């Protein structure tokens, strides 16, 4: 099948990475990006802590591990080429007790197997050499973990797509994608346009777009907000890089951690709590549709029932600044409630199955000419350029298989 017209739905970092990759792989094709907001990267891409994950936690040999490690290299190269701010500030994952220390050793084994450079275990007495104000029984040090300007990356991607002749249609909300016998029709803003291949990277709205386009209901997106607090400028020198807790494999959310940002400030967070709006970045802003959608979903309640202890912890941090800060104080004791102020909020597009289980890996559905990216989990932003390679390869393989089918 000849491909001369391709479209991407979604102008976040994954969607624009896919558009760029399509332009490189199909140089004779016209690429169009549909983005419903007035700017690119307006949602998850523009509402995160800016961390470039090194690949510490992922099962060796897994797709997530492979895409993360390749993604880091591609992202660093892209940042250098396009003069996007990138800083290897380093990260420590801190164990506070022997149970966490055993988990830490397991993370170290995975990190080494994944080829994370420079990663090493250190004793508690060595922590102050890296983070003078942090404390713990032991830690894992990842000197290559970095921070980056993800909105800057996204703008540079958009400029590259446009420079290569692609179109980026802002304020163009796609309601559905319709596959016909010889074309794929994208319906947006009451109009329609035909393409040969469409790849949907709709993030927080991915399930709705897929369902409206004839795909399965599940996995369903359940939004979780993550609040951040800002450490006062007078205390920002308490943190040199990134200070993380040891993840508990029983629970899906990490807990509060401390992150240096590119402007030198330090953020605490995020927590994780059910959001009453998929795009409610302002506190108090509620979407009735999204609230009913989430609370009326039996799978969410099954998920909550399996994670009661984590839910209690996250509820406390959502309701109490003191409880939020106390989590951070486990690692840097000199922080007090008086040292923090409310910061930004991010929203995570958590893909959930009908039984309440979380979709933790990549989920790609669709046909030979319509590809829906239903889930691109963390470290999605870190891996975006590598994810794009994977998605475009998958899409083009489907096209080839469809063309060869009688």
**Which DSSP string corresponds to 228-291?**
EEEEPGGGGGG-SSEEEEPPPTTSS----EEEE-TTS-EEEE---EE-SSTT--STT---HHHH
In this chain, the answer to whether the domains covering 5-45+151-219+360-404 and 222-354 adopt an identical fold is: no
Q: Which residue has the higher pLDDT, 309 or 288?
A: 288
Model's pTM, two decimal places?
A: 0.97
Segment 180-192 mean pLDDT: 96
For the cut 60, the answer to whether the pLDDT of residue 109 exceeds it is yes
Alpha-carbon distance of 282 to 225, in angstroms, equals 10
Q: Delimit the domains of the chain by residue range.
A: 5-45+151-219+360-404, 222-354
CA 274 to chain centre: 17
Rounded to the nearest angstrom, the gap between the alpha carbon of residue 260 and the centroid of all alpha carbons in its chain is 18
Does CATH number 3.40.50.150 belong to domain 5-45+151-219+360-404? no
Q: Average pLDDT, stretch 26-51?
A: 97
- The rounded percent of the chain whose pLDDT value lies above 70 is 99
Tell me what the pLDDT averaged over the chain comes to.
Answer: 96
DSSP track, 69-94 = HHHHHHHHHHHHHTT--EE---EEEE
Looking at residue 403, its pLDDT comes to 65
For domain 222-354, the question of CATH label 3.30.1390 is answered with: no
- Beta bridge partners, 340, equal 231
* More confident of the two residues 21 and 2: 21
CA 61 to chain centre: 20
| pLDDT at residue 179 in the model | 97
**Model confidence pLDDT, tens digit, residues 212-262:** 999 999 999 999 999 999 999 999 999 999 999 999 988 888 989 999 999
Residue 51 exposed, middle or buried by CB count within 10 Å (0-12, 13-18, 19+): buried
Mean pLDDT computed over 341-356: 97
* Amino acid 405: pLDDT: 57
Contact (Cβ atoms closer than 8 angstroms) between residue 387 and residue 66:
no
CA angle 265, 100, 268 (to 5 degrees): 15
Three-state secondary structure call for residue 145: coil
Rounded Cα distance between 243 and 48, Å, is: 16
Query: Residue 270, preceding bond cis, omega within 30 degrees?
Result: yes
Which pLDDT score, from 0 to 100, does residue 24 have? 97
């Amino acid at each position: 099948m000849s491909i001369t017209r391709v479209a991407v739905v979604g102008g976040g970092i994954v969607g624009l990475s896919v558009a760029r990759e399509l332009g490189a792989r199909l140089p004779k094709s016209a690429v169009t990006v549909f983005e419903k907001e007035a700017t690119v990267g307006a949602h998850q891409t523009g509402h995160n802590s800016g961390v470039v994950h090194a690949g510490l936690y992922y099962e060796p040999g897994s797709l997530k591990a492979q895409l993360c490690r390749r993604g880091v290299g591609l992202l660093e190269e892209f940042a250098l080429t396009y003069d996007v701010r990138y800083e290897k500030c380093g990260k420590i994952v801190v164990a506070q007790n022997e149970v966490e220390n055993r988990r830490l050793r397991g993370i170290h084994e995975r990190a080494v197997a994944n080829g994370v450079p420079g990663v090493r275990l250190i004793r508690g007495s060595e922590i102050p050499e890296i983070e003078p104000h942090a404390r713990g029984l032991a830690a894992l040090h990842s000197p290559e973990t970095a921070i980056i300007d993800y909105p800057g990356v996204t703008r540079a991607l958009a400029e590259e797509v446009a420079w290569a002749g692609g179109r980026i249609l802002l304020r163009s909300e796609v309601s559905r994608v319709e596959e016909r016998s010889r074309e794929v029709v994208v319906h947006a803003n009451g109009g329609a346009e035909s393409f040969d291949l469409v790849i949907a990277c709709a993030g927080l709205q991915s399930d709705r777009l897929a369902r409206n386009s004839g795909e399965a209901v599940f996995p369903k997106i359940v939004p979780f907000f993550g609040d951040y607090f800002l450490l006062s400028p007078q205390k920002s020198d308490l943190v040199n890089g990134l200070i993380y807790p040891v993840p508990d494999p029983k629970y899906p959310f990490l807990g509060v951690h401390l992150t240096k940002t590119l402007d030198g400030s330090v953020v605490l967070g995020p927590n994780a709590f059910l959001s009453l709006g998929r795009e409610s970045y302002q506190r108090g802003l509620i979407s009735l549709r999204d609230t009913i959608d989430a609370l009326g979903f039996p799978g969410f309640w099954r998920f909550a029932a399996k994670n009661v202890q984590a839910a209690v912890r996250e509820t406390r941090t959502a309701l109490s600044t003191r409880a939020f800060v106390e989590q951070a104080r486990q690692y840097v004791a000199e922080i007090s409630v008086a040292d923090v102020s409310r910061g930004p909020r991010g929203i995570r597009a958590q893909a959930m199955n009908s039984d309440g289980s979380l979709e933790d890996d990549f989920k790609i559905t669709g046909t030979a000419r319509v590809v829906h990216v239903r889930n691109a989990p963390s470290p999605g932003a870190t891996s975006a350029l590598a994810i794009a390679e994977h998605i475009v390869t998958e899409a083009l393989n489907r096209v080839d298989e469809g063309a060869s089918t009688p």
